Amino acid sequence: MSEPGRSNLVHISRKRRVKEDKRFVSGTGCYVQDVVPAGTKHVAVLPSPYPRARILSIDLERAVALDGVNAVVTGEELAEHTAPLPQGLNLPNVVWRPLAVGMARYAGEWVVAVAADSVHIAEDALDLIEVEYDPLPAIIDPELAMSEDAPLVHPEHGSNILYSGVFTWGPVAEDFEAADHQLTFRARWGRSSTVPIETFGVLAAWREGTDTLEIWASIQMPKYAEQIAHALRIPLNSVNVHNDVDVGGAYGVKRGIKHTVLAGYLSRKLGAPVRLIEDRLVNLAGGDAHGPDRIFDTEVAFTKEGIITSLKIRAIDDAGAYPGRGPYQLAKPITAITGPYRINSVHYEAISITTNKTGQVPVRGFGQAPTNFMLETAVDKVAMQLGIDRLEVRRRNFIRSDEFPYTIPSGTAYDSGDYHAVLEKLLDLADYDGLIQTRDQRRSEGMLAGVGIATCLEPSGGNTMFEYLMNPAAEITTFMEACQVRVDAQGGITAIMGTSGAGQGHETLVATILGEELEFDPEDIRVIHADSLAGLPTLAPVASRMAIMLGGAAAGAAQKLKDRVMRIAAHNLGIPITGLEYSGGTVFDRADHARKLSWQEICFIAHNQIHKIPEGLEPGLQAIHVFQVPGGGQLPDDQNRVQLYPCFAFQAHIPLIEIDPGTGKVTIVAYFIAHDCGTIINPDIVRGMVIGGVAQGIGVALYEKFAYTPDGQFISGTFADYVLPSVFEIPYVQVTEHCTPSPLTSHGQKGTGEGGYLGAPAAIASAVNDALAPRGLSLHELPMAMADIEELLNGGDSI
Amino acid sequence: MKPRKITLEVNGRVRSATAEPRLTLLDFLRYALNLTGTHMGCEHGVCGACTVMFDGLAVRSCLIYAVQADGHDVTTVEGLCNGDGTPGPIQEAFQDAHGLQCGYCTPGMLISAQALLQSTPDPSDDEIREALGGNLCRCTGYAQIIDAVRLAAVSFQGAGG
């Protein structure tokens, strides 16, 4: 296997076109909306107008009678034939179904579904359905939801608290006792999500002849087929998920299991393909796809030199009416609970609350982004309280490059890093002193101006052991990904992966690594996505894991394949493998390069001449490698200490912003990043991932919020209300790189899909607070909307 | 209302089909003409994923009814390809700069870029931002899209505009 960080890489780290791009620029990608078999029926759903209401009666008669309507389904009917949707925590009395049964728990929850010959007819039919509701008071505020007399979202559960747990790692009490200083603050991460431009969609086709449910979906979720099989009560090998669907953006949130179960049920009922494509209102209001909505109360213990010694964190997260896997977003951040800092001890209290809002879904970073925003706020506050420069406080607290592997109090060992070097590169890139001068110049001209600083660790590679910390029933230690390489009789190389892609460039990743290992042009290597029934073990492109895990699987498969090639060559050349040399597919006698077997000759033998294949070697030329996450597989010790993710990338961000003192409008003037994701596989993909994450993080910080009225109505149902940043809001982000290879991966690579999103909200918040500081103001609630800043500037209280 | 027969020119070809009056141009292109390169993002005119060229101007096809396009000229992302189906100059530039990730907003971006470069072959960065201001991208953070349009402008000029 190639040596990590080696400088003689031919394809890895070199600029090359992204394989997927050609079909996308030509308009020939194949998204789920492009899959419309003959006879497809179309689904529309009727939402509850009330945030909390008993459903007294439903009259379907007129809808059923409409020409072109094929089926009208209520929650009762669906519940008779399907199991509740799987969720993360063990919550038997918090029942999640595609359609409400007896009670609607948020405004926008699906109550009835119609399948019709066209989506227009299905929507017409919705108007003919009469539902009688008994509206009840809703609970919207997560802190009020914890009180004794709050209305219960799920009365059978007996409380609105879905989870409450306390973890203590290290001598917290002693560290607080010994600290020179302490401070406390509250920070709030608003309800937002990564909201792809493509809504969720699914096409389900039950095939009676084969007893299979064929699924095409805009999905990014581990164990999708398993969840479908469970809910529809059919064998897992009756579910076939087609992974050759291009997914129009996912960033964690494309998890439409309720959509799929509904469409799958209808397809079986009707004997026809059934398609459910969210429109934008359904997507925003009723897709059960909101992200973390979190309140942090944090206490920090630190020395007079600014060394942070201990943290006490309480995180309350509002999971909405149906938590799904959402609450685990309180556990994943334990992976890097102290960030890039040498913090000796941590007390962490995590609380997940249910309210009458749409349900929660995993979002890019799986809870790490809110946690990082809180951590970086803490560091800035320490600096401000002591009057020490924010950069200097970070330098003093960073883990040093000679301390790796470094084990944090919660038990995870960080693999490698050089945080000081990355920070220095960032200061050079940003011309930090010049930037401060520019800020001060703008201040002298009457603007509010601020320079932000934030760093973040990006845990990458995955591992689900954080789930066990919240739910010991989840004793899942396997976290794998696989790749198969096949070489045909002409010598053509085809790689098979087991999941779909959503713009991450997996085909390019696999082709580049195979090209490097087998010494072929990645351009000539085909990469396909197997259906789930024909496919490979996979846990989907989550957890910033594919460069590490799919990359590792591809590298492993290449090694196994190469071993077969060498054995065939050794057998036919009559030379031991140790006497052979592999170069570009041809195998040479080291001592005499005239003696050789070409790639084509070897492939011909493998496929056609078993008499020339060494005994014990099967014919054909293919290899599968299943890669398990490095360092995983362990259960926590009795102190709840456990190795979580294996690899840790690092980013540092510096934005310069201005705030119009009259309107509160924030303009981002410049934005700089230095980052270290180990060995970069494809520079363009990495740059896009980093900057794209920043843009979403800017949205979180300044614009995006799923807003509810106090009585529970959803008021962010369009892109005019839920504001995604456009090219006007996002500056041209400048990026520089550093490379500390991971010792745990095939080529030293780490993940890079999440860091931009983890760092940017903290960085923008830091910049806004730097701009507000001369006025003696501060703001720690995201999004920092223009109106909030204006109100603060004109006499409001600091939040 | 009854479907109406409409005739329009799409990507240089005259196409006739029937359309319900409530059918959007977006759905007509996708499902009547099978031009699936144009994408649905919001259906309320904000995201720009459905942008097509309509008589030479970049417009949102989710805000036009198909019957309103009767007699007009429409170009979709498929129409930006060369005659042999290979990617055209803007499409090449987007590949070279990796001005995309998931590809979903890309057709709209390409059409807006084409409209810009037809009228402004040597655009400033501000002009590029203005032209792309109605197209949301959730993946890239826009930097590589701006790079791609700059690169496309160079190749446009090289090709004589």
Token couple for A263? 């469409």
The whole-chain average pLDDT of chain A stands at 97
Work out the percent of chain A whose per-residue pLDDT is above 90.
96
- pLDDT tens per residue, range A654-700: 999 999 999 999 999 999 999 999 999 999 999 999 999 999 999 99
- From B79, B111, B144, the end of a domain falls on B79
Distance (Å) of CA A45 to CA A282, A286, B27, B39: 8, 10, 20, 22
CB–CB contact A26 B22 (8 Å): no
**What CATH number was assigned to the domain covering residues A32-136+200-277?**
3.90.1170.50
Residue A4's pLDDT band, with cuts at 50, 70 and 90, is: very low
Q: Is residue B123 part of a domain?
A: yes
A127 touching B (Cβ < 8 Å): no
| A41 vs A322: CA distance, rounded Å | 28
pLDDT of residue A7: 64
- From B79, B100, B120, the end of a domain falls on B79
Q: Are residues B93 and B75 in the same domain?
A: no
Q: Which of these, A227, A224, A226, A204, lies nearest to A214 by C-alpha position?
A: A204
Stretch 3-42 of chain B: residues touching chain A, C-beta under 8 Å: 20, 22, 30-31, 35-42
Residues written for chain B: 161
Q: Are residues B74 and B12 in the same domain?
A: yes
Q: Are residues B75 and B97 in the same domain?
A: no
Residue A1's pLDDT band, with cuts at 50, 70 and 90, is: very low
Q: How far is CA A367 from the centre of its chain?
A: 9
- The CATH T-level fold of domain A294-465+636-793 is Aldehyde Oxidoreductase; domain 4 (3.30.365)
Of A691, A696, A719, the CB nearest to B143: A691
Q: Are residues B72 and B10 in the same domain?
A: yes
Minimal-distance CA residue of chain A relative to B104: A248
Of A18, A732, A756, the CB nearest to B98: A18
- Which amino acid, one-letter code, is at A575? I
Q: Are residues B67 and B101 in the same domain?
A: no
Q: Which residues of B touch A198 (CB under 8 A)?
A: 39, 41, 49, 102, 104
The predicted model gives A741-760 an average pLDDT of 98
Residue A797's pLDDT band, with cuts at 50, 70 and 90, is: low
Instruction: Enumerate the CATH 3.30.365.10 domain ranges in chain A, comma separated.
Output: 21-29+480-628, 294-465+636-793
- From B46, B79, B112, the end of a domain falls on B79
- pLDDT tens per residue, range A10-48: 999 999 999 999 999 999 999 999 999 999 999 999 999
Q: Is residue B24 part of a domain?
A: yes
Minimal-distance CA residue of chain A relative to B46: A719
Per the structure, the complete domain to which residue B30 belongs is given by 4-79
Instruction: Enumerate the CATH 3.90.1170.50 domain ranges in chain A, comma separated.
Output: 32-136+200-277
Q: How many CB pairs under 8 A join A and B?
A: 177
Residues written for chain A: 799
Residues 6+ apart with CB under 8 A from A102: A54, A55, A75
- pLDDT tens per residue, range A193-234: 999 999 999 999 999 999 999 999 999 999 999 999 999 999
Q: Residue A526, exposed/middle/buried by CB under 10 A (0-12, 13-18, 19+)? A: middle
Stretch 69-98 of chain B: residues touching chain A, C-beta under 8 Å: 76-78, 81, 85, 87, 91-92, 94-98
CB–CB contact A688 B101 (8 Å): yes
Q: Is residue B75 part of a domain?
A: yes
Residue-wise DSSP of A334-401 = GGGTTTTB---EEEEEEEEE--SSPPB---TTTTHHHHHHHHHHHHHHHHHHHT--HHHHHHHHBPPG
Of B44, B132, B138, the CB nearest to A197: B138
Q: Are residues B69 and B131 in the same domain?
A: no
Q: Which of these, B36, B108, B28, lies nearest to B70 by C-alpha position?
A: B28
Residues 6+ apart with CB under 8 A from A644: A332, A334, A335, A410, A411, A412, A459, A463, A465, A466
Can you tell me which residue has the tokens 């200061």?
A427
The predicted model gives A43-57 an average pLDDT of 98
pLDDT of residue A796: 59
Q: Is the pLDDT of residue A369 over 60?
A: yes
Of A17, A505, A688, the CB nearest to B140: A688
The count of other CB atoms within 10 Å of the CB of residue A475 is: 11
A502 touching B (Cβ < 8 Å): yes
Q: Are residues B23 and B67 in the same domain?
A: yes
Q: Are residues B54 and B32 in the same domain?
A: yes
Q: Is the pLDDT of residue A245 over 50?
A: yes
Min Cα distance B160 → chain A (Å) is 22
Q: Are residues B117 and B145 in the same domain?
A: yes
pLDDT of residue B1: 76
Min Cα distance B112 → chain A (Å) is 13
Q: Are residues B103 and B147 in the same domain?
A: yes
Residue B156's pLDDT band, with cuts at 50, 70 and 90, is: confident
Q: Are residues B47 and B17 in the same domain?
A: yes
| A369 vs A759: CA distance, rounded Å | 7
The radius of gyration computed from the CA coordinates of chain A, to the nearest angstrom, equals: 27
Residue A2's pLDDT band, with cuts at 50, 70 and 90, is: very low
- pLDDT tens per residue, range A540-592: 999 999 999 999 999 999 999 999 999 999 999 999 999 999 999 999 999 99
Q: Are residues B93 and B142 in the same domain?
A: yes
Triad A534, A535, A539: Cα angle to 5°: 150
Q: Is residue B126 part of a domain?
A: yes
**What CATH number was assigned to the domain covering residues A21-29+480-628?**
3.30.365.10
Residue A799's pLDDT band, with cuts at 50, 70 and 90, is: low
Interface test with A, best of B30, B76, B138, B147 (most A CBs within 10 A): B138
Q: What is the CATH number of the domain that holds B143?
A: 1.10.150.120
Q: Which residues of B touch A248 (CB under 8 A)?
A: 39, 102-104
Q: Three-state SS string across A632-685, please?
A: CCCCCCCCCCCCCCCEEEEEEEEEEEEECCCCCCEEEEEEEEEEECECCCCHHH
Q: What is the CATH number of the domain that holds B21?
A: 3.10.20.30
Of B85, B100, B135, the CB nearest to A25: B100
Q: Is the pLDDT of residue A66 over 50?
A: yes
Total domains present in chain B: 2
The whole-chain average pLDDT of chain B stands at 96
Q: Is the pLDDT of residue B161 over 50?
A: no
Stretch 283-302 of chain A: residues touching chain B, C-beta under 8 Å: none
- pLDDT tens per residue, range A597-609: 999 999 999 999 9
**Cβ(B61)–Cβ(B52) under 8 Å?**
yes
